[in-house]
Structures are given as C-alpha cells and as structure tokens.
Structure 1
Amino acid sequence: MDGHAGCGKSSTAKALANKLDYIYIDTGAMYRAVTLYLLQHNIPIDNQQEVEKELSNVHLSFAHNPSNGRKEIELNGMIVEEQIRTLNVSSKVSKVSSIPAVRHFLVEQQQAMGKQKGIVMDGRDIGTVVFPDAELKIFMTASAEVRAKRRQLEMEEKGQKVAFEDVLNDLVSRDKEDSSRAESPLKKADDAIEVDTSNCTFEEQLDKVYQLAIDAIQ
C-alpha cells in the first residue's frame, strides 16, 4: 500500500491487517526511526557518507508495547513511536528517505520481513520497489487540505499543538520531495488500484481496501 503522506495509509493498513489476521509492517516508521536516530546524534543529514557510516549502529524491530497492546517501532531497544511522530522528524524524513544507503538498508530488511507473505505493508515504494510482484497493490491519495486537517487532529490528540498552515506546508513539501527524489520516488505502480480517501470516512476506506484484498485472495 503506497500513497501520499497523511492520506490514512498506516491507519488503514493496520486495520486491514487486523481484519485479515495478517502481520502489519509500518515502513514509514522505519524511515522515521532512522531520522530520529540521526537527529539525536547530531548527524548532518546532508552528509551522505556520515549517514551511511552510522547505519550499522541503527537496530530496528517492532516490539509489543504493554501500555497499549500494540506492536510499535523499536530503535536500539527503545520504543520510539511518539518521538518519531513529531513535526521535527516529519520535516526531515523525506530528505533522509532520499539517501540511497538508507533506502537500501531498509528495503533489504523489509523484503526479508515479507518472505513468508501474509503481510500488509505500507510506504512510498512498496509496490514499485520492495514488492513489485505483490498480489495486491493499492495507491492511496487525498487532497492536501484534507490530509493536513487529519494530520493536525492526529497530532493534537497526542498533545502536540501545531498550526494548520505548518502541517499543510510540511505535507506539500514532503509530496514534492517524495515524488521528485532520484532514489525510489513515490509513484503509483502501473498495476496498483488507486483509492481516493478525500471524501471517505475511515470505515468506508477500510471497507474498500478490505474488499479489494478479499477479491485478490480469492
């Protein structure tokens, strides 16, 4: 499942995995965790050689969080789900994701996770690079304004007060960076099914992708 930032990919993919009794893998969280590590250790993200050298010190996994019962991203033994969702990380993650060494590092891990199948994975290049032969590819999108409003509400629910314009500008900037980068740009795979969630409730978009999944399985 690929698509633009803030269109509901992760929430939908997670809920879909639950309905299908599949494993959910949040690849966006993996890129965010690498970004968080670089920021925490003051590694200049414009220096690709420095970033590449640090990757051997980044160890990622998805661990059970006993406080909420969810599987969340773990960076070097620490669950960092809340830290990776800040606007600071969001504003840097597209640039980090465009670094070839970072993409190769994480794509290799993602492909290993998917070898046994029975997974739902979301990101930017899942259908085009990570799993070009996936049984079902979905490309999710929505208007920038709708996505910004959803992201703002999501952040406010976590206690992060941010202005709508700041969130909108961040999303528009990420769209441009994700779609124009040289390494694995965000684009719809030729055989992906597009789902526009601009005018959908969460339940409606989940129903749409669930039916697509059932049709693909059968």
Structure 2
Amino acid sequence: MDERINIAIDGPAGAGKSTVARSVAEALGYIYIDTGAMYRAVTWSAREAGLNVEDDQAVTDLARELEITLAPGPDGQVVLLNGQDITDKIRSRDVNLHVSRVAANDAVRLLLVEMQRKLAADKGVVMDGRDIGSHVLPNAELKIYLTASVQERALRRFRESGDASGITLEQMEREIEERDRKDMERAISPLIRAEGAILLDSTGIPAGEVVSQIVTLGSKKLAEAKQDVI
C-alpha cells in the first residue's frame, strides 16, 4: 500500500485555504495543488484577450488552448500560463471580481477537473478549492471545510491587496459577501461543506495552529487507512 492519502480543503474566499494547504503539504511531504489558481489563470487570460466572461463558448475555446502549470517556487507555488509566470497577476482585484463567473462555466470546470483528478491519481496530494471534497475528489480520505468570519476574511484580503487596489475595507467586505453568494448559488459544483468534511473555523486562530490540526487529522486518517487493509 502507498503510505499516502489525499486531503481536500474547501472553503470560501479569504478563509486561508491556500496558505494552510501549502503548509500542510510541506509538513507531510505531499504535493500542493491550488485549483483556484487554475480558474484564476483562465480568468486572467480571458480578460487579457478582451473576452466577455459571460460568453461561455468563447472562454471555453480559450481554455482548451491554455497550458496551466503549477510549480513550486521560492515563495510558494508558481503559476505558469503557456510558460509565462502569472503568479502575481492572477491575484488582482479584476480577477477577483470575474473568477466566479468563469468558475460557473460548466465546460471550463470539466476541463480543469479532469486535470486535477489526474494530478491526484497517485495520492499524496493536498488540494484546495470550493468543490474538492464534494466533486473533484469525493473519495479523498480527509476532507476539511475551512472558513472564517466575513470580517476576518475581508481584512486578510484587504491586507493583501486593499491598499494597492484603492478600495476600502468596507468595500472588500461587500465583495467577499457577493463572492460567497455567487459561489454558493451557482448551478455547477456550488460551494458546500462536503459529506464527511470536518469544519474548521480559523477566525482568530493563527494559520500555524490550523495547519497543525490538519496534519494531526491527516496522520490519523493514514493510520486508519492502513488498519483497514490489515
């Protein structure tokens, strides 16, 4: 038996999924896959091409031509689009405002989900997003639903980009709430707490403590998986 499991971490925008998932992967020696970055890459490319993100067919046709690569870098994950480093570009406010619409594109989701499942086929993956435990990796041995209050999530995003984007913290809170609504109400793979997912609220809790909790849970799940085959 391969002594590894897959870990799915879902949750709303600004919950700290990427930071936590990356650290969990490092602690366990697993591969980290930021699925949100893949949707952001498609969104950024569509906006750069001048496409209307409401035009599902045009965005899908574009996505089919894209080569998205997630690679480790000195400061975390590097996102390459057709060989171009767009790691910082996909975190812009413009991408934040449009990525939910692209993520609701059924054909784009099918393309990216297929890529994501292939990456996780050999186990030893920590994958974060909004529909990992419910749709992408429903058989993941450990599922986490990571959340935090809207106020805290907005503050985190504001510290990351608020000053640069020129918006207020209150505007950021409204945008986070709107993003939550779109993600939860979309018809295709909405944001939900997957069956069997463990709820972790990171409000007021240091990221390191959240990481430790998930690593401990992962170790327990691995032990259980070994016991099941004895």
Query: Relative to structure 2, which stretch is displaced further, 194-203 or 137-146?
Result: 194-203
Of 151, 158, 165, the residue aligned with 1:152 is: 158
Rounded Cα–Cα distance in structure 2 between residues aligned with 1:161 and 1:85: 15
Rounded Cα–Cα distance in structure 1 between residues aligned with 2:139 and 2:100: 25
1:24 matched to 2:32: yes
Q: Is the 8 A contact 1:155 1:162 kept in 2?
A: no
1:181 matched to 2:186: yes
Q: CA RMSD in A?
A: 1.4
Aligned to 2:17: 9
Aligned to 2:199: 194
Rounded Cα–Cα distance in structure 2 between residues aligned with 1:69 and 1:45: 30
The TM-score, its normalising length taken from structure 2, stands at 0.89
The secondary structure found in structure 1 opposite 2:142 is coil
Rounded Cα–Cα distance in structure 2 between residues aligned with 1:103 and 1:175: 18
Q: Is the 8 A contact 1:64 1:70 kept in 2?
A: yes
Aligned to 1:204: 209
Of 162, 168, 171, the residue aligned with 1:166 is: 171
Rounded Cα–Cα distance in structure 2 between residues aligned with 1:71 and 1:7: 18
The secondary structure found in structure 2 opposite 1:137 is strand
Of 64, 82, 86, the residue aligned with 1:56 is: 64
What is the deviation of 1:70?
A: 3.5
The aligned runs of 1:40-55 (5 Å cut-off) are 40-55=48-63
Q: Is the 8 A contact 2:64 2:111 kept in 1?
A: no
Aligned to 2:228: none
What is the deviation of 1:69?
A: 5.3
What is the deviation of 1:71?
A: 3.2
Deviations 1:131-160 (A, max 9, x none): 100000000111100100011112269x55
Unpaired runs of 5+ residues, structure 2, are: 1-8, 224-230
Deviations 1:23-54 (A, max 9, x none): 00000100000000000001111111211222
Of 135, 140, 153, the residue aligned with 2:146 is: 140
Rounded Cα–Cα distance in structure 1 between residues aligned with 2:18 and 2:72: 17
Rounded Cα–Cα distance in structure 2 between residues aligned with 1:63 and 1:162: 31
Share of identical aligned residues, percent? 39
The aligned runs of 1:78-93 (5 Å cut-off) are 78-93=84-99
The secondary structure found in structure 2 opposite 1:139 is strand
Q: Is the 8 A contact 2:162 2:172 kept in 1?
A: no
Of 113, 116, 132, the residue aligned with 1:126 is: 132
The secondary structure found in structure 2 opposite 1:45 is coil
Q: Is the 8 A contact 2:22 2:76 kept in 1?
A: no
Change (3 A) 1:156 1:172: closer
Q: Is the 8 A contact 2:148 2:202 kept in 1?
A: yes
Q: Is the 8 A contact 1:148 1:164 kept in 2?
A: yes
Q: Is the 8 A contact 2:145 2:200 kept in 1?
A: yes
Unpaired runs of 5+ residues, structure 1, are: none
Letter in 2 for 1:32: R
Letter in 2 for 1:176: R
Q: Which runs of 4+ in 1 moved over 6 A?
A: none
The TM-score, its normalising length taken from structure 1, stands at 0.94
